[in-house]
Structure 1
């Protein structure tokens, strides 16, 4: 693992009666793709095709599929299966399946006796229950990152019922954080961006932030202490989460979204439980969302004009794009144009 990306052919399984075959158009670039392919979250079986933010058109449906039509634009996110009978699955939290949700790539798909391969590809076969409708108001390239970055940020905001009157801070203005700003603002919250980079201040306001606090400015941080009902922590590098708790109002919640690589070597500092207890604070995590909630997110984004800022990438530029993503230089989500893949490869 860890070598450069190369184009190669993979076989896709035959479609079953409840499967949908999708000709892919775009696939988002996610930092987790890099962590996985470079072995930063443990080893995976090779060959491996990453990508779990994909949009395309239905090109075939199984004999028992009745709610999809050939030519319809659809999307597939981070999972393509779950047991569907455990308590989390029954409450539409398939991502927390007790028997493990089937990841879109690098996961063992027991019902089909194969290891899943992701969306940096020209087509994919997916069970109908894990296929999402893409609203016509959202272009396909902009829809792709919503299927991971979008739902990862939407789910906790919806779960916490963020709306008018809430004061939401977002730390880490990157691929995830920029979506948190847009979504929280669309929900009616007062949004503050937290960044150590002065150059990001103007952009954060363009994204929808009402205020920007530079974390290198001690006076500004002091003035912000105890202000926020929700703080979204989208910082992907090891950092002191405890320092962010000081910014919360009593009964406030920090939502952890950014995951560092296991190879970073620096442990995340421990949070003093007294800080949580004395002010009634909460730590929460966000791990995408179930299929039903993801569909609601797409409809919300369509209704409120919320889309990610994207940079279209061709197959020839993918290795460079991954390096730029790691360096924080993509603005703000990269999206692979599937049409740029070599169509002459044979499985």
Structure 2
């Protein structure tokens, strides 16, 4: 076994405490990664505050680092490679989704980076708020070395979540994309859509974010509480990516779709009611997406390297993880916290 140090919460709402634990010895298809940075996601916040969850919990599922050891059968990576890993570390590899490179939709449910179940020995997976992670090579990705590693980490969750629908809907020059909500997901959706050549509009409830939208690459911003402004967008978009993280009325955004347009909801994944008539007029579609599979994840990282795209982050030492969670819960972040794990090494 391999010794590691990390952080975990012993109960819901409890502060994260350092702990020493063991990672598995490498299997033939494993890669050991020394973790340099790990993003702080709303999913992590939910995991440590949800009283119905399983505890202890050791979070962290969007991270970057350097390969320190590889298994005997690994051919795609060598010691010293700069790599990135997201929130999926294994899948069945046999179903139709896995065969299509969409392991994020694995019929047997993918193995998550923490709180999942190892498909070989049945042990619980332990997250990347830690000094090291051991992961199957299929779920490790080459990281562009021209980019700030701390700012790459959130691409592995927030980034790939919005990249997949953009690519699945063939977004490029001549297409019109709306992004609802500018946060960890939305700010990257704007950057991606702009770099792909689309005409990009941001929907926001805040006047203060209008200028932020332009700085991210949006062509315009619409304040969604202004009814006249919303009415002016009727039928204006081929795709709207809804990154709003709370339950809300979808009807105003469906109205903004053009013929055969799609509203893709990625921010709030709970139950919501949709009036079918809002889909019928214009033959519109409502879809969703989450995380990403192998086929799109490396493509996204390569694209980011080529276009110098990273997340806007605030970096803090891993010892300040509780401060990051407190500020995240208060909405005090633009746009993603990232933990520097070097104080664990």
Q: TM-score range by the shorter chain?
A: over 0.9
Gaps of 5+ in 1: none
The match for 2:241 is 232
Gaps of 5+ in 2: 1-11
Asked whether 1:144 is paired with 2:153, we answer: yes
- Give RMSD over aligned pairs: 1.4
**Other structure's SS at 2:120 match:** helix
The match for 2:227 is 218
Q: CA deviation at 1:255?
A: 0.8
**Other structure's SS at 1:169 match:** strand
Give the Cα–Cα distance (whole angstroms) in 1 for the partners of residues 268 and 323 of structure 2: 22
The match for 1:324 is 327
Q: CA deviation at 1:272?
A: 0.5
The match for 2:14 is 3
The match for 1:22 is 33
Asked whether 1:109 is paired with 2:118, we answer: yes
Q: CA deviation at 1:325?
A: 1.6
- TM-score normalised by structure 1 residue count: 0.93
* Pairs within 5 Å for 1:57-206: 57-206=66-215
4+ aligned runs moved over 2 Å, structure 1? none
* Pairs within 5 Å for 1:233-248: 233-248=242-257
- TM-score normalised by structure 2 residue count: 0.94
Give the Cα–Cα distance (whole angstroms) in 2 for the partners of residues 315 and 132 of structure 1: 23
The match for 1:251 is 260
Q: Is the CA contact 1:4–1:319 (under 8 Å) kept in the aligned structure 2? A: yes
Q: CA deviation at 1:292?
A: 2.3
Give the Cα–Cα distance (whole angstroms) in 1 for the partners of residues 238 and 75 of structure 2: 44
Give the Cα–Cα distance (whole angstroms) in 2 for the partners of residues 25 and 208 of structure 1: 29
The match for 2:44 is 33
Q: Is the CA contact 1:174–1:328 (under 8 Å) kept in the aligned structure 2? A: no
Q: Is the CA contact 1:312–1:337 (under 8 Å) kept in the aligned structure 2? A: yes
Please list the CA deviations of residues 277-303 of structure 1 after superposition, one character each: whole Å capped at 9, or x if unmatched.
221000110111101210000011111
Please list the CA deviations of residues 304-329 of structure 1 after superposition, one character each: whole Å capped at 9, or x if unmatched.
12111011022232112112222222
Give the Cα–Cα distance (whole angstroms) in 2 for the partners of residues 296 and 111 of structure 1: 28
Q: CA deviation at 1:2?
A: 2.5
Q: CA deviation at 1:246?
A: 1.0
